Structure 1
Amino acid sequence: MVPTDFKQERGLAMSEQKPLIYGIIHIGSSNLSMRIVQYNNVKDIRVIESVRKDTSFGEEVFIHKKLSFPSIKKLCRMLEGLKQLLLDYQVKVYAVYATAVLREAENCRSILDLIRVNTGFNVQVVDMPQEIYFKHFGLQYQFKQYNKANEGRLGNNFLFVDITSGCVGLTVWEKGALCYQHNVHIGTLRLLETFKMNQRDSINFPEALSEYIHAIMEPLWVTVRKYKIDTVILSGREARIVGRLMNVKIGAGVIEVKPEKITRFYEEAGALSTSMTMQKYHITESLASVVTPTIHIYQEILNNVPVNNVVMMGMTFAEAASIFYGAQKTKDPALLYMRAQNLELTRSIAASYYYEPEHAKAMELYSYHIIRAFDQYNGLNERDEFLLRMAIILYQIGKYVNLLGSSAHAWSMVRGTDIFGISDKEKDIVACIVYYDHKGIPNDDDEPFRILSDDSKMTALKLIAIFRLVRAMDMSRKQKLKDVTARITKDALLIEYESSENTALETWMFDKEKEFFENIFGMEARLERR
């Protein structure tokens, strides 16, 4: 049974369910939605049930900075309805995500606790880089398949644009490689929040909005234009709304639109205030408030990034999260490919400051062997190894600012950078590793360590210990250690290597750093030439 007031989009017989079945609930700024899906692989996902209810929670949060108690009670009642639907379908595996609506709420902690007490749901608040990443994972895969089926007609270089209530995500792929990503804090609701109600209804508002958007985004275009973009991909709920007003039906697939069509719509609707947009297109105020900033952002992009092709895709966060969750559970190769691309993007970030590629690759290889030697008994997983590799790539970027205090500079720079593919919590772990890259004992007197959660602190300590060992193993930056292997033998980590060169520096530095490792892991570390 579908909960009251929810729009039912699609249903399949319960008899068709297969083992990998789960539910994804999204608490968004403008709606609450749930999808129950059957996941076979990233190419084969069947929707068993999809429900959605429009809400005004996001607008309340953006105006008042918090969600009122009556609204929280209403949200809990709606979530209880979704929980009953999960029970009806006998779905025991699920995830509940919240994006900007709770991320921006000052009383977020209270909301999460009340939801847990009233519904039993533990809500994961997705930070902005994660939100963009979840959606991009599904979008880029779907688009690549479409372009491949059309013999690459849309080119090789693509700019993905995802607009949410809180931000705009810009992601560039060049010849199959992820090479640029930037998030701008000017989403649809955030833009409107900048202006007072009477200003939004002024005849001067459209021009002022256009100028404001340009002032924020203009610094990005010099970099983006370097990639000679062939196709711009516009995605999300905002694309669906604008597409509908342009008489372009955007579903879950890929729809091609001429840039001139968007420009004509901008010329028609861009000069209208919110109330005038409501009257002209016979839409609600909530929809009209989305149209105005969205079409101005679109035109800002087309004015500054000349392209021959525009594609519109309507994938929502709930749809994208459904794909991403299944890929994580099954370790789908598409997810592993995306992680490899994330590391390439991280290398591009590092190269724009200071980066020694061969040194980093050697450290990555050594760390791989060490973590594999522990197998599952070290409390580290593939995700932790991924974070360690990011830290290895980024740890020297502070030298771009000043050799003196470079570790502290690197910490600030990592925390101030949107690193695609990791959450803010994970980014703080990476930043902590680079801060303690060669000296200091992590403790709560230092902000880089103090700000971590308790579980993150233990992860950071283990990764710092391994980081210092592998840094010592290539201290000369000459990659002297060849054919490195690592294994656990008699409560000791034994690292063996071959070399035709003098490795005194590496050996001495390893002996200096191993004490920290031994204190963290409770075992001896030895570096021996075969």
Structure 2
Amino acid sequence: MASKVFAAIDVGSNELSMKVYEITPKKGAREIDYVNSTVELGSDTYNSGRITEDSIMKVCEILNKFRRKMREYDVREYKAYASSAVREAENSVMVLERIKQHTGIDVSVLSNSEQRFMNYKAYAAKSKFEDADTKNRALLDIGAGSLQISIFDKQNLIQTQNLPIGAVRIRDYLAKYGADTVALENIMEEFVSNFIEEFRNLFINDKDIKSIIAIGDGIANLKKVGPELNITDKITRDQFRVLYHKVVETTPEVLSEKYGVPYERATLMLPMAIIYQSFLDNSRAEDIITPDVTFCDGIVADYMDKNGTLLLNKNFDEDIIASANSIAKKYKVNRKHTQNVTQNALDIFDSFKSVHGLGRRERLQLQIAAMLHSCGKFVNMNEGTMMSYHIIMSTEILGLSHKEREEIANIVKFNEYYLPSQTKAQVSLMTADYMKVAKLASILRLADVLDKSHRQKISDMKFSFKDYVLTMTVDTLNDITLEAGVFKTKTELFRKVFGVKPVLKQKRGL
């Protein structure tokens, strides 16, 4: 592949930014230009629920400037994403259409989990996991509207949670108190600590967090406050305490003037400092690692990952699976049963790829659906399937879009429930793809009944596909009368969806 010029555009909650990169096969992405401009979209949305006309016009004006900059570099490919401020706005659809009409730029809205996953990819691409042997790190991604905390053991994601304490949201929510800086600091500290302490009690427990990884622009601005500390890419506990007190004792106006931080960003330094300090106080972290990556870096890392050009030996699907696994663990699923169902589902999926026409991403969705199909039994044994549906719908899975998560929830739901016609099902499916749900639910049904007894009698299957008959031959001495009997009652959806008849055969019986 020859080198290409790529632009990443972030329609953020308090500023719009664009980075232009040169991408080459051997060196990866090299930043060649960066432009940004402040627009307080987050204040609009978090205070009134809508993005104002004035803000829409400013966004269009800035994006047109970005468009001209892209022409200067002959940019042929770009990705433009908006996050929480646009996502949560009542008029988001109209805002996106106005942007398209006035600038020609297509802006896509990301779910929270997609955005945070891109930031994680940026960190992974920059660090290349050079210190991958380090145990128990917490990645803190402070956005305008929320905070994402992800806990890693070495390279493995073991927990991630989203808390509604973003920098802009905190600043605007508490500004109404009109207190002086010190009093405001006390109010903010109490407000933030409540969330951090709950997270610690629920998810950190006895985990010995060694380091914090700080993602985003905010930490770079905080580092500017302590030039005498000679901070590079790591801030010790003691150094951060110095930065913290400086921010607490200094007004945004002075921070902006003295340290060259744009005023709007200076107003966010106090809530950000409080979040970091609160996490330090509620963990044993020794330092804060500052990789200096932004969301634009996440956009280009995601683009390269999907195009197979990211110079990193890392399968990010494993992190999505790990995120789902933490949910399964939380709801105490029957581990042996779900592992058996998951493997059977993936084996069936792989056995007739030429017929179902589904790809890697759909296989991943099936895997997660199998892992979580029984998590709702923790809530209600009699309504386990519906409880599983609601748990999945209300729980973010890092790296999945809202639509993908909605599809997984419906795959689990229609594993047990009757799947109505597309017209009748559309209301409950919302944005989910009907045929994708139907195909994957029909596969999950077969995989689930193969372990109806929950005793893992069937674990070694061989497949043959001929004349639209999928034969599953089981090599086992176990009595599979229960599984074989129920299997016959669960094949109808599979036959309707694929036009394929599934047949279960036992090679060796008792």
| TM-score, L = length of structure 1 | 0.87
Q: Which residue of 1 aligns with 2:237?
A: 259
* 1:67 aligned counterpart, secondary structure: coil
CA–CA distance in 1 between the matches of 2:112 and 2:227? 31
Per the alignment, residue 501 of structure 2 pairs with: 524
**Counterpart in the other structure of 1:115:** 99
**Is the Cα contact below 8 Å between 2:324 and 2:368 reproduced in 1?**
yes
1:342 aligns with 2:320: yes
Q: Is residue 215 of structure 2 the alignment partner of residue 235 of structure 1? A: yes
Query: By how many angstroms is 1:443 displaced?
Result: 6.0
What residue is the counterpart of 1:288 in the other structure? 266
Hey, what does 1:314 align to over in structure 2?
292
- State the alpha-carbon separation in 1 of the partners of residues 277 and 353 from structure 2: 52
Letter paired with 1:296:
I
> Which residue of the partner structure matches residue 5 of structure 1?
none
Equivalent residues in 2 for 1:144-163, closer than 5 Å: 145-147=129-131, 155-163=134-142
Partner of 1:396: 374
- Which aligned pairs between 1:113-512 and structure 2 lie closer than 5 A? 113-143=97-127, 145-147=129-131, 155-197=134-176, 199=178, 201=180, 203-222=182-201, 223-247=203-227, 255-272=233-250, 274=252, 277=255, 283-330=261-308, 334=312, 337-375=315-353, 377-442=355-420, 450-453=428-431, 456-512=433-489
1:208-256: CA deviation from partner (whole Å, max 9, x where unpaired): 11111112221111332522011111221111111112228999xx701
Which runs of 5 or more structure 1 residues have no equivalent in the other structure? 1-16
Mapped contact 1:240–1:250 kept (Cα < 8 A): no
One-letter amino acid of the structure 2 residue matched with residue 163 of structure 1: I
Q: Counterpart amino acid of 1:479?
A: Q
Quick one: distance in 2 between partners of 1:375 and 1:120? Answer: 38
Distance in structure 2 (CA, Å) of the matches to 1:255 and 1:172: 20
Q: C-alpha displacement at 1:299, in angstroms? A: 0.9
Stretch of structure 1 that moved more, 199-208 or 412-421:
199-208
Change (3 A) 1:260 1:394: same
Distance 1:35 1:497, change over 3 A: farther
Q: Say if 1:518 and 1:132 are closer, same or farther in 2 by CA, change over 3 A.
A: same
CA deviation after TM superposition for structure 1 residue 412, in Å: 1.7
CA deviations over 1:37-69 (Å, ceiling 9, x no partner): 344569732234443333333333333322223
What is the CA–CA distance in structure 2 between the aligned matches of 1:334 and 1:486, rounded to whole Å?
35
Structure 1 residues 526 and 331: alpha-carbon distance in aligned structure 2, compared to 1, 3 A threshold: farther
* Counterpart AA for 1:498: D
2:67 corresponds to 1:96: no
For the residue of structure 2 that corresponds to 1:97, the secondary structure is: strand
Which deviates further from its counterpart, 258-267 or 473-482? 473-482
1:63 matched residue in structure 2: 47
Which residue identity does 2:504 align to in structure 1?
L
SS of equivalent to 1:18: coil
Which segment is superposed worse, 491-500 or 414-423? Answer: 491-500
Q: Distance in 2 between matches of 1:484 and 1:510?
A: 15
Deviation at 1:270, TM superposition (A): 2.1
Deviation at 1:84, TM superposition (A): 4.1
Return the offset for 1:429.
1.4
Cα offset, 1:143, TM superposition = 3.4
Are the counterparts in 2 of residues 65 and 105 from structure 1 also a CA contact under 8 Å?
yes
* Aligned 8 A contact 1:432 1:449 in 2: no
**Paired residue secondary structure (1:147):** coil
| Superposed displacement of residue 447, structure 1 | 8.8
8 A Cα contact 1:240 1:249, kept in partner: no
d(CA) in 2 for partners of 1:277, 1:19: 41
In terms of mean alpha carbon deviation, does 214-223 or 376-385 score higher?
A: 376-385
Equivalent AA in structure 2 for residue 402 of structure 1: N
Asked if structure 2 preserves the Cα contact closer than 8 Å seen for 1:436 and 1:464, the reply is yes
**What TM-score comes out, normalization by structure 2 length?**
0.90
Out of 434-443 and 258-267, give the one that drifted further. Answer: 434-443
Structure 2 counterpart SS, 1:302: helix
Contact 1:188 1:293 in 2 (8 A): yes
Q: Which moved more, 1:299-308 or 1:409-418?
A: 409-418
Runs of at least 5 residues in structure 2 that lack an aligned partner in the other structure? none
- Checking the alignment, whether the CA contact within 8 Å between 2:28 and 2:309 is kept in structure 1 is no
Measured in 2, the distance between the counterparts of 1:66 and 1:42 equals 45
Residue 490 of structure 2 corresponds to which residue in structure 1?
513
Q: Matched residues in 2 for 1:335 and 1:458: separation?
A: 34
For the 8 Å contact 2:25–2:309, the answer to whether it is kept is: no
2:315 is paired with a residue of what secondary structure? helix
Distance of 2:332 and 2:423 partners within structure 1: 29
Aligned-residue sequence identity (percent) comes to: 22
The alignment partner of 1:131 has SS state of helix
Q: How many residues align?
A: 506
Tell me how far apart the structure 1 counterparts of residues 26 and 493 of structure 2 sit (CA, whole Å).
Answer: 42
Farther off after superposition, 295-304 or 19-28: 19-28
Residue type of the alignment partner of 1:300: S
Distance 1:425 1:283, change over 3 A: same
Q: Distance in 1 between matches of 2:361 and 2:125?
A: 21
Closer, same or farther in 2 for the Cα pair 1:127/1:289, shift >3 Å?
Answer: same
- Contact 1:443 1:450 (8 Å CA) reproduced: no
Deviation readout 1:76-132 (Å, 9 max, x if unpaired)? 233234334444544433222111231122110001112223333332101111111
Q: Give the RMSD, CA atoms, in angstroms.
A: 2.9
